[in-house]
Amino acid sequence: MPLSPAREVFITCAVTGSGSTQDRSPHVPRSPAEIAVSAIEAAKAGAAVVHAHVRDPETGVPARDPALYREVTDLIRAADVDVVLNLTAGMGGDMVFGPTDAPLPLKEAGTDMAGAAERVAHIAECRPEICTLDCGTMNFAEADYVMTNTPGMLRAMGQMMTDLGVCPEIEAFDTGHLWFAKELVKEGILKSPALVQLCMGVPWGAPNDLNTFMAMVNNVPPDWHWSAFSLGRDQMPYVAAAVLAGGNVRVGLEDNLFLEKGVLATNAQLVERARGIIEGMGARLLGPEEVRAKLGLTKRMPVVS
């Protein structure tokens, strides 16, 4: 399909992620308070959407505790800055196999398999405006770790998200994930127009090159909304690539720790750098209320105790 540069763009900031980055930068937030503060600073810098995982406050190891999500959610919603909240629902499908001559039993360290209801329990508790739906299974980065999302699991989780009134953000790591996302819309499990995040350069999904990127873009239905990101030093080039291809952008410490070679970044600094690229390309940055209107979201209010 013919493409043209985006004229209005929103930034998503992925503030902490679930990777093993907690000891590689002092700016990676760990506690709910640190995650909320970093998200709020990113919003003040220009992010209309913040994407949050939670971590063990002491060790920084990624966690799924709904109480931690509740604390992050309440702190962000009570802040003096507006922002669209996007919580992950990607955890709970991790399989780490044993050695190749004895792959079973699965290794206890790193394996984390949960049912659909448990994987979205914090979504039901916190009711963010957006939550992620990793739309496929793939070999994922380290050793014999498989990110597992079966068709049945995705149908169940997707229906729960829709029933909760939370907008699923389809995380597409390859073209087959987009293929299945379109099937979920066809089946009525997800609503159309859907929201997609194109995840580039994550081993071993879609490789980080512009030919593959454009194949991903061209597989997104023209009436859907999409963003894109890449990892490490390619994070900012993909800000420009996404805008040129007509999409929105994602930056943040989940995907990249550096502002430039040897200089560790904060989330706010990454948002500021992305904002400069976007506005330098002649596009206007959208705020959270405009994003809600664009995506058909309902603003969630703070819980009054």
* Predicted pLDDT of residue 2: 57
Report pLDDT digits (tens) over 29-78: 999 999 999 999 999 999 999 999 999 999 999 999 999 999 999 999 99
* Predicted pLDDT of residue 305: 44
Per-domain residue ranges of the chain: 8-295
Q: Please report which helix (H) or strand (E) contains residue 151, including its range.
A: helix 151-164
List, in order, residues 6 or more apart from 191 with CB less than 8 Å away: 162, 185
* Predicted pLDDT of residue 144: 86
Report pLDDT digits (tens) over 223-240: 999 999 999 999 999 999
Contacts by residues 26-31 (CB-CB < 8 Å, ≥ 24 positions apart): 26/264, 27/253, 27/257, 27/264, 27/265, 27/266, 27/267, 28/60, 28/253, 28/257, 29/55, 29/253, 30/55, 30/56, 30/57, 30/58, 30/59, 30/60, 31/55, 31/57
Distance CA 292, CA 253 (A): 24
**Segments of the chain with pLDDT less than 50:** 1, 304-305
Distance CA 61, CA 253 (A): 15
User: Which position has the token pair 């739906």?
Assistant: 133
- Sign of CA pseudo-dihedral 271, 57, 142, 133: negative
Query: Are the C-beta atoms of 18 and 91 separated by less than 8 Å?
Result: yes
* Predicted pLDDT of residue 175: 96
Give the sheet arrangement for strand 138-139, strand by strand.
112-113, 93-96, 145-147, 138-139
* Predicted pLDDT of residue 135: 96
The CATH architecture to which 8-295 belongs is Alpha-Beta Barrel (3.20)
